[in-house]
Chain A
Amino acid sequence: MTVSLSGSEVAKQIAERFPEVVSEASDQAVVVKSESLFEVTEYLKSNPGFDFDYLNYIAAVDYYDYFELVYQMTSREHNHSLILKTRCCDRDKPTVPSVVSLWRGADFQEREIYDLMGITFEGHPNLKRIVLWEGFEGYPLRKDYL
Chain B
Amino acid sequence: MVLKTEPFMLNIGPVHPSTHGVFRMRATLDGEVIVDIEPVFGYLHRGIEKLAEERTYTGIIPLTDRLDYLASMSNNLAYVLSVEKLAKIQVPERAEYLRVIMAELQRIASHLIAVGAFLNDCGAFFTPFLYMFREREKIVDLFEMVSGQRLLYNYMRIGGLSQDIPDEFLPALDKFIQQMPGFIDEYDRLLAENELLLARAKGVGILPKEMAIDICASGPVLRASGVQWDIRKVDPYSIYDRFEFDIPIGSAGDCYDRYRVRIEEMRQSLRIIKQAMEQIPPGEIRAKVLHLVRPPIGEAYAHIEAPKGELGFYLVSDNSIAPYRCHIRAPSLINLTALREMMIGWKVQDAIIIFGSIDITMGEVDR
- Chain A residues at the B interface, C-beta cutoff of 8 Å: 1-2, 28, 53-57, 59-62, 70, 72, 76, 79, 83, 103-109, 112, 116, 129-133, 140-141, 146
- 25 A–B contact pairs at CB < 8 A? A1-B236, A2-B234, A57-B312, A57-B329, A59-B327, A60-B327, A76-B213, A76-B229, A76-B234, A79-B235, A103-B214, A103-B216, A104-B338, A105-B214, A107-B337, A108-B337, A109-B333, A130-B41, A130-B42, A131-B41, A131-B42, A131-B367, A132-B42, A132-B45, A133-B42
How many A-B contacts if CB must be within 8 Å? 84
How far, in angstroms, from A108 to B324 measured CA to CA in the complex? Answer: 23
Residue of B nearest to A132 (CB): B42
Cross-interface CB contact of A61 among B213, B324, B333, B336, cutoff 8 Å: B324
- Chain B residues at the A interface, C-beta cutoff of 8 Å: 41-42, 45, 47, 49-50, 211, 213-217, 227, 229, 234-236, 299, 301, 303, 310, 312, 314, 316, 324-325, 327, 329, 333-334, 336-338, 366-367
- Report the minimal beta-carbon distance from A73 to chain B, rounded to whole angstroms: 9
Other than the given A56-B301, A61-B327, 13 more pairs (CB < 8 A) read: A54-B213, A57-B327, A60-B327, A61-B316, A76-B213, A104-B338, A112-B333, A129-B42, A131-B366, A131-B367, A140-B47, A140-B50, A146-B50
- If the complex has contacts A57-B312, A59-B325, A131-B366, are A104 and B337 also in contact, measured as CB distance less than 8 A? yes
List B contacts of A106 (CB < 8 A). 216
**Most chain B CB atoms below 10 A, which of A60, A70, A83, A133:** A70
Cross-interface CB contact of A131 among B45, B217, B303, B337, cutoff 8 Å: B45
- If the complex has contacts A105-B334, A108-B333, A130-B41, are A53 and B213 also in contact, measured as CB distance less than 8 A? yes
List A contacts of B215 (CB < 8 A). 103-105, 107
- Report the minimal beta-carbon distance from B174 to chain A, rounded to whole angstroms: 32
List A contacts of B366 (CB < 8 A). 131
Overall SS of chain B's interface: mixed
List B contacts of A62 (CB < 8 A). 325
Would you list the 10 A-B pairs with minimal beta carbon distance, nearest first? A105-B216, A131-B42, A59-B327, A2-B235, A57-B329, A131-B45, A61-B325, A59-B314, A104-B215, A105-B215
Whether A72 and B301, one on each chain, are in contact in the complex, defined by CB atoms closer than 8 angstroms, is yes
